[in-house]
Structure 1
Amino acid sequence: MKLLKIHLRYHPPGIILEYSRKGAVRSKDIDLLDLNSNSNIKQIAEGLLATEPLLTEDVRVQLEDCLITLKTRLEHEGPAGKRYYLYKTLLTHILPLTNVCFDKLGKRVLTGSYDRTCRVWDADTGAELAALAGHQNVVYSVSFNTPLCDRVVTGSFDKTSKIWNPTTGECLATLWGHNGEVVAAEFSPKGDFVVTASMDHLAKLFDANTGTEVQTFAGHTAEVVSLQLDPNDGRRLVTGSFDTTVALWDTRQPQRVCELRGHCGEISGVRLNWDGRLVGSASLDGSARLWDARERACLATTQDHAGEVLDVCFDWAGARLATCSGDGSARVYDVTDFRELAVMRGHREEVSKVCFSPAGGCLLTASADRSARIWNASTGNCLQVLSGHEGEIFSCAFSYAGDAVVTASKDNTCRIWR
């Protein structure tokens, strides 16, 4: 084996070793999830040189330079390091939006709408790049195949998903098989598969190249409303259902690996942490739970919210879990002991979406009070109110680099903040 290059991965912090073996170029990811502003770079480098055969004394200086760059990036992305200003208002659709997301470079924005289309926008100019038209009902879920971002998948209330070319607007495949509305659809990490969730109580796996159904995941007894593939190899799938259960699946077989029971109300959201070891679940019973995906056990339950818990997310390192609720607040917990770290209060109505900034220093929330807010994830202090929408904000996202925010509203517009 011969090391060719060391690439940086900013979120979560890590390096990617590109090397040759028997004439083929391969890559290996090394996570640096504990890297922070107080980290000792020389000690980390010493540890990597001692444990990773691809890293030799010849590349010590290059390795330390890479680690310094990662550390500096984390320091600059702290909660006080960035203030966002309205950059563009996209008059996107003739009917309210459903979901929104950036591509990896933050150059394009996807919007889904009740007008049955998904649209691709230039985040710099605000120009419409493509209209993905063909669904016969609401386009509810939109997503790129990160990191390439040369394909888009949409999920619709017309009971289908579609794969598109975002440059030409061409529909490359229609994914048939569900008998109910498709409410979630996403690519696997390598982009070779698409997984979908539907109101027909099922989740399905499709070949992203041919559009053929590969697997049906049956077992839930009510609508499947949330899912996620593990971010590394895509072999593990978590689903959440209105039947009050969370299920874990191996995508190579149709039978579920296990069923996680404990909630007494409908599941509103499920998420896996970076390495797929932990599952977070949000429920309309007013609680959030943390589960061990390997031991298949509930590690902790919080009932701190005074209303339904509507969304849940991990930070990139998987060290903290955030929740948001119909009570107008968001909360952050340490996953080690599920100690409450911060409470975000200030929204006047329900908070339906929550997400960490890429570096983890900030929390972004979207609310029915027509505002989005950015908070210090450690103290709970509100750093900024993103106001101006004339309708409920129900979808929001940071760009991968953390230098932009997008918000989507029932006022038929999305806004880009930089």
Structure 2
Amino acid sequence: MLDIKFIRENLDTVKNAAKVKNIDFNFDLLLDLDRDITELKGKVQELQEKRNSHSKKIPKASAEERPALIEEGRAIGTELDAIKPSLTEKELELRNLLLQAPMIPSPDAPIGNDENDNVEVKKHGELPQFNFKPLDHVEILEKQNWAEFEKIAAVSGSRSYSLRNDMVLLEMAMHRYALEKLQSKGFTLVSTPSLAREEALVGTGHFPTGRDQVYYLPEDDLYLSGTAEVQLNSLHSKDILSEDKLPILYAGYSPCFRREAGSYGRDVRGLIRVHQFMKVEQYVICKNSPEESNKWHKILLETSEEIVQDFELPYRIVECCTGDMGTGKVRMYDIECWVPSEQKYRETHSCSQLHDWQSRRTNTRYRDNDGKVQFVHTLNNTAVATPRTLVPFLECHQQEDGRVRIPEKLRPYLGGAEFLGK
């Protein structure tokens, strides 16, 4: 969330941010509300001062003067009471608008309209070459009895899946490996609930837009979140941390849920777009410094690269353009792993820096070494998300005899097995 004072003083900059992010934002309404609120607050202050001054006259007034003064005081109070609902309503409307105001993207971020304008910055690994007809991930899973799709869809609805046997163990191995790697790098491991209150989703920026992607439980007034970032971002809501406690590094492990609204007919096969998944999320709270944010952005990206390399998957890194990065992002990279059956890279990790866009929403601050209170910066990146990562993993490591090879780094988590399957 941007500060209204910043918007007033940098209107052209914020308007340009909306333009390059393809966000339709009503700046005229925002400025009108801001002006109305300023005027109403001035009127409230004026009336309060008048009432206070007036109330001091009553004790000194004669018996004959007192009734008129009391009535005049009541009239001032009535006028105040008439203004306050309008002020409250306009302040709420202004806040709702501010929650949708775009963060200023980095000047180094590529300008573009959508994912087609993202810029490839790195490729790593050799694409697999098969001397046999390779299977796609669904064919591999069904051949080995590693997943079930049709019957579980009848029970749980479309875009559901049920992993079986070795796939359950492989999924757990991937997450265990990622968690141990992050712990070795100083991250605090956190298992987070999937349930979250509305204010937590507002805090990350998933709300007020994005409601159509989230499952809602009306009887409990709770939501199912699509990432542990939602809970981790609100753990220090309203806190004033000390600078020596920063950075705070969290590795959040949780079941995640996403409605995938608007994606019907797209990527419906197998494990690609499902409603429920497991994820280890990297989350960083650091000092209010672009240099510090850049440093941690690089570290988060490199850590995910290490994991993908240890899984021995060919991948590329793309920098997301302004039109694809989202409202709150300052800069964003995706890691995309190679899917042989589709002959293309698919996103498996998303690495974002948001500066103080989230911390202003949650009012998370720190007192620096000079005693100044500042909003923290936040960053996040996927460490491992399954079953998404299983798609390139199974397809890239399949063998002619139907088995799937396990990279050396994962074998200790699977009893030393070099291959899975028959």
Sort the TM-score into its range (normalised by shorter chain): under 0.3
* TM-score, L = length of structure 2: 0.22
* TM-score, L = length of structure 1: 0.22
Higher strand share: 1
Larger radius of gyration: 2
Higher helix share: 2
